[in-house]
Copies of this chain bind each other. A is one copy, B any other.
Amino acid sequence: MTKTSTGNFFEDFRIGALIQHATPRTLTVGDVALYNGLYGPRFAVQSSDVFAKAIGYPRAPIDDLLVFHVVFGRTVPDISINAVANLGYAGCRFLAPVYPGDTLNATSEVIGLKENSNRKTGLVFVRSTGFNPDGGKVLEYVRWVMVRKQNEDAPAPPDHVPRVPEALLPSMLGDACPAIDGAAYDTVLAGSPYRFDDYQVGERIDHVDGITVEEAEHQIATRLYQNPARIHFNLYAEAKGRFGRRLIYGGHVISLARTLTFNGFANAFHVAAINGGRHVAPIFAGDTVFAWSEVLGKAELPERNDVAALRLRTIATKNRPCDDFPHKIGGEDDPAVVLELDYWVLLPR
């Protein structure tokens, strides 16, 4: 019997199973620097210890999406190493700020299973949690993926399709954001005069810029997250595969889109929650990613006067500028759309 891990196939999952993922990870300023080199975010809070301290953080926190990718990376060997499609996220909440020196572990609970009618694959729903070794949660989210069966004849567990979380309520936001001193929040240094009150529901913003992705970049990023999904790294195998080339980790697109949103939402310094995310189409090296956003909602946070939340839908496209806000065509996704992300960001009042 080989000692090589093949990961879990669809028939290996059981409802209620709690999976402790391997490879705890201490995040450092080195990770932050490489993340910056890969995406180029310009939010002042994450960029400057001095700015962060002035408004109430002990130092610059680690970018929320870097935390997300690192927690996600831990889950891959157990959850999605045999996935054929990463279908969606929901109910993703950031629960505590993370700083250089902090260590992250991750677990996943299997909350749903449904075999597909072809009996070759099935849907797996998990609730994954990132936490400090002392047990403090920093992140949780629900994710569903389509996973291959190893043996088509293997009996499948009974179907159990969970209720996927709805958009998070404003009362569930803000745990990862300390009390902010809004007067000390310098909008000139942050790069935009627009605070929470300046945005309107329904407002659409084209983020203008485009970023072309290189193979080396997405490979370095995905390895930084210790995400070993083979489809991102192995040209020899993928040349014969579905796309004929390496697929880019969907989270890479999320981080590119988040970076692009700086131009329009420079004061949206914290991603508090992701209500739902959908990778509409794959991207490949050489593609140029653009994005635009719509303000879907606005909310005050209970007992907080320092920050408030915008609910955004950011659409990312490939090889198509977003000045006309591409989204749907006749009810179908515009073929240029690669990502649809519904999330809450916090801004100073």
Contact = CB atoms under 8 A, between A and B. Distances in A.
B192 A5 contact: yes
Interface in A1-47: 2-6, 20, 22-26, 28-34, 36-44, 47
A321 B212 CA distance: 31
B264 A205 contact: no
Interface stretch (A114-122, A150-158, A164-172, A233-241): A233-241
A215 interface: yes
Contacts of A94: none
Interface stretch (A135-143, A173-181, A220-228, A326-334): A220-228
A216 B42 CA distance: 19
A6 B216 CA distance: 30
A6 to B, nearest CB: 8
Interface in A166-220: 188-192, 194, 198-199, 203, 205-212, 214-217, 219-220
B34 A30 contact: yes
A33 to B, nearest CB: 3
A86 interface: no
A335 interface: no
Interface in A297-338: 319-321
Given A23-B44, A223-B39, A3 B236 contact: no
Contact of A212 (B22, B233, B320): B233
Contacts of A246: 212
A211 to B, nearest CB: 5
B42 A226 contact: yes
B48 A26 contact: yes
Interface in A233-273: 233-237, 246, 263-266
Given A194-B3, A198-B3, A234 B220 contact: no
A235 B22 contact: no
B228 A40 contact: yes
A209 B194 contact: no
Contacts of A50: 24, 26, 103, 133
A273 to B, nearest CB: 22
Instruction: Tell me the number of copies of this protein.
Output: 3
B211 A264 contact: no
A160 interface: no
A198 B1 CA distance: 11
A286 interface: yes
Contact of A235 (B28, B230, B288): B288
Contacts of A6: 208
A22 B34 contact: no
Nearest to A226: B42
Contacts of A129: none
A159 interface: no
A105 interface: yes
Interface of A: 2-6, 20, 22-26, 28-34, 36-44, 47-51, 60, 77, 101, 103, 105, 133, 188-192, 194, 198-199, 203, 205-212, 214-217, 219-224, 226, 228, 230, 233-237, 246, 263-266, 286, 288, 290, 319-321
Given A210-B237, A212-B233, 17 more contacts: A2-B264, A4-B207, A4-B263, A22-B191, A22-B192, A23-B43, A24-B47, A34-B34, A34-B37, A37-B223, A38-B223, A47-B226, A210-B230, A210-B235, A212-B219, A212-B234, A212-B235
